[in-house]
A and B are shown apart, each in its own frame.
Chain A
Amino acid sequence: MKNDDLVICRCEEVTQADIKEVISQGVTRMNEVKRLTRAGMGLCQGKTCGRLVTGILARETNQPLQELKPPTSRPPTRVLPLGILSRTTQDDD
């Protein structure tokens, strides 16, 4: 497909081709795509690209979109400087 150069995850500069490549190696889960391509591991933690990646995975593996589990989401919900973390208590979520 001609759109393979399309950058899907801007934080980590992951293209559609990168995502298709790991899927062609046999992975079928969002967690796996994330860990092997780094899509969604950048500053925004997948807030922007999560849906796009899910769409590609669903299409390439013929899985129904709604059955794909989203990747494990990790706290914090917003970025936090180390200096602040060292002084405050963070809620456990």
Chain B
Amino acid sequence: MMAKKFDVGVIGGGIIGCAVAYYLSRSGTSVVLFEKNHICSGASSANQGGLAIQVFDLKTIPLALASAELYRGLSDELGYDIEYHENGSILVTRDAYQVPVLRRRYDELKGMGLDVDLWDDDQLRRFPCGDTEPFLSVIESHFDGQVNPFRSTYGFAFAAKRQGVRILTNASVAQIKTVKRRIHSVVLEKGEEFVCGNVVCAAGPWSRQIGQMVGLDIPVEPQRGQIIVTEQVADSEYPYILDGDYLTTAYGIKPEGEDEAARIRHALGIGGSYAQDPAGNWTIGSSRDMAGFVRTNSPDVLKGMARHLLSFFPGMKDINCIRFFAGFRPYCVKDGHPILGRAPDLSGFYIATGHAGEGIALAPATGKLIAEEITIGKTSLPMENFRYERFVAPH
């Protein structure tokens, strides 16, 4: 039997794979996407859908801003409401040791020309904290936002399909054949073979397994995150709130002089991230640990997250939790940054993963850049910071 032929095979039907497939399909390339379960069954189905660009690593911010720009027009472009709302975010702290950290962050963001405010005493006092002390410092970002991660992933997938992409679900990739260090074909677990000169690894936390098929070590492991979902409550004026500890747990920005309670939170990987969706449900995060592919919730983390939240907003104590879930961030164990672009020494193999806790925020720009690299060989934004070559010691 003749193998089926495509220009590009995309491995993974999460938001990254679907975005790559969508942007490729706009250039008239023939694309097949392989997903071992169903569309949006991995990390892309278990997150907060936030674009908290103000806390991102400075190197990643240009990519995130490019993504936000694409998100703005995406509901219209895809003909599907992805519920993108640019309603800003606030980064708050009530810990003295985080105040200088926030001050530094504010200066950095201002230095990049971004639309942020550092609240003055009057604004801090006006924020409704119930009967607790006012915050010590708050950065308000006016460009951060939120998006529905399911609808974005399916929106990309539906549009890609309309533009001719073959989307195969229950299609687990088992083998990638190469000929003289060139990609030749992809073989599924069920035995079916697809000839394609280019392959994009967008397998999220499972990307290391895909790399192994071509002898490439993709240093990505699952970083578990847990979430509490509450019942629907009245709309908050500030639907996206992060606390200073998020900078510590997600980005390793270690403040001086943290207290005992903070040390315990940091040991559990807890840093507050609170997002209210358009329906009114709050998602309460965040936590980070390396527990392999164990998709369960741990009681100490749920309790720690609830306790930390109530230390900020004690008035939320009577709001009901309706659901807990866990997911795996695709985390680059070498430096925590995305790995994007062609692989060295293996013609036709492209990597699009390692997005950690930012994959929803970075998906549109990632998809567009990878499609550009494959179809025209150059990208509209520099990708040097994200290339695999950074792991290869210079000779």
- Chain A interface (Cβ < 8 Å from any Cβ of B): 12, 25-27, 29, 31-32, 35-36, 38, 41-43, 45, 74-76, 79-83, 85-92
A–B Cβ pairs within 8 angstroms, 10 of them? A12-B279, A25-B154, A29-B38, A79-B320, A82-B230, A86-B307, A90-B297, A90-B302, A91-B299, A92-B297
**Structural contact, B324 and A76, CB atoms closer than 8 A:** yes
- Output the least CB separation between A11 and chain B (Å): 9
Complex CA gap A46/B318 in Å reads 22
- Output the least CB separation between A86 and chain B (Å): 4
- Output the least CB separation between B294 and chain A (Å): 11
- Chain B: which residue is nearest A80 at the CB level? B321
**Structural contact, B321 and A76, CB atoms closer than 8 A:** yes
Contact partners of A32 in chain B: CB under 8 A:
38-40, 154
Give the segment of B120-128, B131-139, B255-263, B309-317 that binds chain A.
Answer: B309-317
Residues of chain B from 126 to 165 with CB closer than 8 A to chain A in the complex:
150-151, 154, 158, 161
Q: Is the interface of A mostly helix, strand, loop or mixed?
A: loop
Interface bits B217-251 vs A (CB < 8 Å: 1, else 0): 00000000000101110000000000000000000
Q: How large is the interface on B (under 10, 10 to 19, 20 to 34, 35 or more residues)?
A: 35 or more
Complex CA gap A35/B194 in Å reads 31
**Structural contact, B317 and A82, CB atoms closer than 8 A:** yes
**Structural contact, B310 and A92, CB atoms closer than 8 A:** no
**Structural contact, B306 and A43, CB atoms closer than 8 A:** no
Decide yes or no whether B175 CB sits under 8 A from chain A. no
Contact partners of A83 in chain B: CB under 8 A:
306, 310, 317-318
Among B40, B316, B318, B323, max chain A CB count under 10 A is at B323
Complex CA gap A1/B306 in Å reads 45
Complex CA gap A89/B300 in Å reads 7
Do A79 and B322 form a contact, CB below 8 Å, given A36-B150, A90-B299? yes
Which 3 residue pairs are nearest across A and B when measured between Cβ atoms? A83-B317, A86-B306, A79-B320
**Structural contact, A82 and B310, CB atoms closer than 8 A:** yes
